[in-house]
Every structure is written in C-alpha cells, then in structure tokens.
Structure 1
C-alpha cells in the first residue's frame, strides 16, 4: 500500500465518520476551507475523524460528550461547541447529559465558560425542538 492510498483511506474514513456524527457532508467543510486552507480540511478529516474519532475503545456518544467538555473548558470555541453539542445529540446523548457535562465543567473551566456553553446549548436545543415550556 502506498502512502497516497493510506492517506486516501484516512480521508475517506474521516469523511464517513464526520457524516455519521454530524450528518453533514465533508464536501461542505472542504468547500468552506477550500479557498484559504484546503490542506487543513484534509487534516481535520484524516487525523480528527479518520484516526481519532474512528478509534475503538469509546463509543461515539462518550467521545462527543468528552468533546463538549473540552470545548467548554477552552472557553473560546463557541462555533465548534455549537456543532459538537448537536453532534452529541446526533449520536445518542440526551439534552440532560449535555447540560450535566457543561455544569460539571464549571468546576474546572469556571462559571463564565459554563454559562456561555449553556446558552449555546439552549440555542441548539431550541433549533431541534428540545426546549421545555418556560416554568412560571
């Protein structure tokens, strides 16, 4: 097997995993980054999704909840957090689990990071019709 076919396998595996997790086509990401950094898009697919998200050992639900926790802890990745909260829901995490993970991060990332993340989660939940009626 040549390096090119190995890279192509990683790319294809990564694109398939991204579609499984997010429901989005890899072509969207490639197009979005195509003008500025097409190689970066390949790195996301090959390493992020083709290698890391495709590893055995953790199910996708656990991986996505871990990703949400990490993004909350960063405190400066709102766009990615929104995508990955949606992805966590796509692979079986519940609204309550997402909220609990975010609340847990208040201990390690601080209350402002958790609060920002809860507002992002609220937006994702509303877009998916997962909001509850306001309490009186």
Structure 2
C-alpha cells in the first residue's frame, strides 16, 4: 500500500497539465473574470449540467445550487465564480429564496464571513437582474 496522498498526486497532475496547456495559467488570477464569462441559456445548462447527459441525475438548477454552496464555503477566493453561478442560477429558474437558502446553509460549514460575502455578491447580481 502506497503512503502517497492520492489527492496530492492528482493536484500535481492538474497543475502540470495546466502548465503544459498554457504556462501563464500558473499565475492566473480570475479577478474580473465574471464580467467576461457569458451566461448560458437554461436549455444549454440542462443539456450539459443536468438531465441531458444523465436523465436519472440531478437537474441543472440543483447542481448549480450545490455549486453555490461549495463556492460559498470556499469564501472570498471564489468571488467571481459565485457571481457567475448566481447568474446561471437565475437563468436556470432558481428563486431568490432558493439562492439565499443555499448560501445560508453553507454558512454552517464555511462560517458567517464566507456566508456574508456570498450573500453580498448574490444580492449584487440579483440587483443587476432588477435593473434590466
């Protein structure tokens, strides 16, 4: 039995792959990335993230709510990803209540500061929807 951590090995392989694909990726910081990333249509999300590939699996909205929960726990390091996910949740038909509950639930695991950051980001994205 190997003493090597399989997660560390996988992480190293991922980092090596990213460097081979694009050497600049090793210093990539996604700040401002949310503004560059387009929002997919609900049909496209369902095809790629939801029941399109796995008819018996989770739908796109549920997968995105789980993603938002994980990103909230991650905290401030995932600000742009939280913004992108909230935009996609809106497109997938999630309600403000569902988005808020996913973030609040994550607060139990990621802490109040992480929850507050995610709730602030989500509120900003939802207010953009109000302005449209």
Gaps of 5+ in 1: 1-17, 24-48, 131-136
Q: Measure how far apart 1:21 and its partner are.
A: 4.6
Gaps of 5+ in 2: 1-38
Q: How does 1:14-93 map to 2 (within 5 A)?
A: 19-21=40-42, 55-56=53-54, 57-75=57-75, 76-93=77-94
RMSD (Å) for aligned C-alpha atoms? 2.4
TM-score normalized by structure 2? 0.59
CA separation in 2, counterparts of 1:22 and 1:73? 28
Give 4+ residue runs of structure 1 displaced > 3 Å after superposition: 52-55
Q: Measure how far apart 1:20 and its partner are.
A: 2.8
| CA distance 1:22–1:128, change in 2 (3 Å) | farther
Contact 2:40 2:88 in 1 (8 A): no
CA separation in 1, counterparts of 2:53 and 2:116? 31
| CA distance 1:94–1:108, change in 2 (3 Å) | same
CA deviation string 1:26-50 (max 9, x = no partner): xxxxxxxxxxxxxxxxxxxxxxx95
CA deviation string 1:32-82 (max 9, x = no partner): xxxxxxxxxxxxxxxxx95x6553101111011111111101111100100
Q: Measure how far apart 1:22 and its partner are.
A: 9.8
Q: How does 1:101-116 map to 2 (within 5 A)?
A: 101-116=102-117
CA separation in 1, counterparts of 2:99 and 2:59? 16
TM-score normalized by structure 1? 0.57
CA separation in 1, counterparts of 2:81 and 2:113? 17
